[in-house]
Amino acid sequence: ANQTTLTPAELEEYFAFIGYDGPHTPTLDTLRGIVWAHITKVPFNNLDVLLRKTFHVHLPDVFEKIVRAGRGGYCFEQNGLLYSVLTTLGFTAKVCLARVLLHSAPGDPASPRTHACIILDIDGEQVLADVSFGGSLPTSPLHLILNEEQPTPHGPLYRFVPRQSGWYGLQGLQESGAWRDLYEFDLVPSLPCDWELHNWYTSTYPEGSLYNRLVVARVTRDGHRITLLNTTLRTRSPAGDVETREITSHEELAQVLRDHFHLELPAGARLAAPVFDAAPPGPAS
């Protein structure tokens, strides 16, 4: 259950799946290339949660689901897999657990740690990599430097701000010009047994965000961000133009998942959450 590295054959299989043919040396350029190839191939989604399937985040299970079955996943799966890829290549990395702030207002009670991100030490500098944060993920690694605006390919600016003692907050710049809190984390490393516990909570807690609404997202190779929140399909171009469309049936939903995210719903499957009569969700990014 605690396997965290890939065999050479598995590593090649992963690179072939995401379409990465760059260097394998543990450098920032290598990391950038792998992150971009991964996020433009692997869709974020919580379909297994809404299908009420029990799933684990052990590396063999995640490798089978993401690479061999092409079903994508969410943060504990995708960032767990990327962590294994990076450590196999010789990167110095750790997985840190984060509190999501996307839907929190100042003064709200703290939320549990339902997100996982990767912190690396590259040439003495700390860098964050995250390939699985819905429609708001940074499309390239970010230097863990406070109060410095950092651009990303086809994407908005990001910055880290100081939070409570020893914690960092990640913010993204919105089209409105306002900075939005995304999540906060400290630098304490976590272990696969921690990911399993947090995955269990995130995927089964009845009042959890990902238990009650559908979230699917991907970035295209030309930089479009496509997100599906319950029944609202939203496409944002690199220039910031936004198109939205409402989905009105399970059949249309299955077609959208197939056409836009390359995901197949099992035949006859119905999602457990009330996707078609839920209140309109908040923005994805």
Look up 117 and say whether it is catalytic.
no
Provide the H-helix boundaries in 54-207: 59-63, 75-89, 192-204
Look up 75 and say whether it is catalytic.
yes
CA 193/CA 202 separation, integer angstroms: 14
How big is the CA angle at 117 (ends 114 and 120), to the nearest 5 degrees? 155
Look up 108 and say whether it is catalytic.
no
Task: Give strand ranges (E) for 8-141.
Answer: 44-45, 92-100, 113-122, 125-129
Residue in 75, 96, 117, 181 annotated catalytic: 75
CA 115/CA 188 separation, integer angstroms: 14
What does each C-alpha distance from 278 to 46, 62, 128, 213 come to in angstroms? 16, 30, 34, 8
Residue in 38, 58, 115, 198 annotated catalytic: 115
- Identify the three-state secondary structure at position 111: coil
**To which H or E segment does residue 183 belong?**
strand 179-185
Residue in 96, 130, 154, 260 annotated catalytic: 130
> Active-site residues: which are they?
75, 115, 130
